[in-house]
Amino acid sequence: MSTTMTDNAIAQTRQVLPEHCLDFAAGAAILGTGGGGDPHIGMLMAQAALEKHGPVDLVKLEDVPDDAVVIPVAMMGAPTVMVEKLASAEQFVESIRAIAKYLGVEPTHIACMEAGGVNSMIPMAAAAELGLPLIDADGMGRAFPELQMVLATLFDVQAAPMSISDEKGNSIVLETVSNKWAERLARTATVEMGCSTIVSLYAMTGEQVKRAFVPGTLSLCRELGKCISYARHHAGSAKDSVIERLGAVQIAEGKISDVERRTTSGFARGRAELATDRGIVEIEFQNENLLVRRGDEVVATTPDLIIGLDTDTGEAVTTEQLRFGTRISLIVAPADERWHSEGGIELAGPRYFGYDTEPVRPAEFSA
């Protein structure tokens, strides 16, 4: 049997090319659930790396060998800084090399921890530069603000040893007692290093990745992006096709009538009011959209994906873009079921973010 032929055939149809990046980024903005950082800058970096080094193979999660050495890579810090102090040419590679050297391994695959927002694109750039395949999956199936908020934490995969690299050539390797400590120490180091770093973390085997990752989320980004570019070319809205592709439900549609923001301990917290035909709907956000209320009743919460779409185009609307008069279709997409386990809720449920409620899901998801 000629497995090589088959592998080649798969490789040919499953490659990331520079011209795919726009769609990937538009889809990643949707999975960003209002936050995750603007994918645009990541898209430019991925495009530049793919043009320079050639296409990247996108490997299905199920096809990753059990003994694969997988290194996930991400950007950490403030999006405002990322768009000003752009990464150095070697920063991605340095970060991955630092952790590989510490662990004494030779990476075989690059992976994405966060498919929502800018971190969907960083692993593409890194994979292109290293000439390694990228796994078509991610560590959470959305965007979350802290590094321990990945399914891997539920499977006892450790974030550390992890590396943190700045653009000057400095790298730190952390050993920590928990993923929460990794978050605390990496965040502090990132601030000291100028608020924008590349981190390589949750190094794992192929076997672990297959248990702890959400399959197909990078192709999902591209498909969502294709819905948007199709709608744009046909002067229509991608809203319905986005809802269908995500298995989401629309819970409200209307115009933003009030936005309130405050920045505390580095997070853009706030709430927005959506005026709908059925009264006011409130959206609570902390970088990402986390909870929706209609009157006193909570109608949706994290860990499900609460996504604001521009009603006219179906494109993602970030919490930073929310302002009076923005016309939003608020949709809720089901999070990966593992997020709804006891451990998942403890890690990223409403109480973790300070909302005194059990998780609430639209009735459609429990059926």
**Exactly one of 102, 155, 267, 365 binds other proteins (CB under 8 A); which one?**
267
Residues 6+ apart with CB under 8 A from 19: none
Nearer residue to other proteins within complex by CB, 102 or 267: 267
Give the type of residue at 128.
A
Q: Count CB neighbours of 1 within 10 A.
A: 5
What x/- string results for residues 302 through 341 when contact with other proteins is judged by CB under 8 A? Answer: ------------------xx-xxxxx--------------
Site size with other proteins, rule: CB under 8 A: 43
With CA atoms as reference, report the closest residue to 194 among 96, 76, 43: 76
**Exactly one of 6, 19, 175, 261 binds other proteins (CB under 8 A); which one?**
261
* Minimum CB distance to other proteins, residue 46 (Å): 10
Q: What are the tokens at 112?
A: 């994405």
Rule CB under 8 A: say whether 79 interacts with other proteins. yes
Rule CB under 8 A: say whether 167 interacts with other proteins. yes
**Exactly one of 86, 154, 173, 360 binds other proteins (CB under 8 A); which one?**
86
With CA atoms as reference, report the closest residue to 98 among 174, 40, 29: 174
* Helix, coil or strand: residue 98: helix
Query: What part of residues 24-63 is at the interface with other proteins (CB under 8 A)?
Result: 41, 44-45, 48-49
Rule CB under 8 A: say whether 169 interacts with other proteins. yes
Burial of 341 per CB tally in 10 Å (0-12, 13-18, 19+): middle
Rule CB under 8 A: say whether 78 interacts with other proteins. yes
**Exactly one of 54, 65, 266, 279 binds other proteins (CB under 8 A); which one?**
266
Rule CB under 8 A: say whether 168 interacts with other proteins. yes
3-state helix, strand, coil in the chain (%, to 5): 40, 30, 35
Distance CA 222, CA 353 (A): 30
* Minimum CB distance to other proteins, residue 49 (Å): 8
Q: Where are the alpha helices (DSSP H) in 247-355?
A: 342-348
Tell me how many degrees the CA angle 10-203-106 measures, rounded to the nearest 5: 70
Contact set with other proteins (CB under 8 A): 41, 44-45, 48-49, 77-81, 83-91, 125, 167-169, 191, 194-195, 255, 257, 261-263, 265-268, 287, 320-321, 323-327
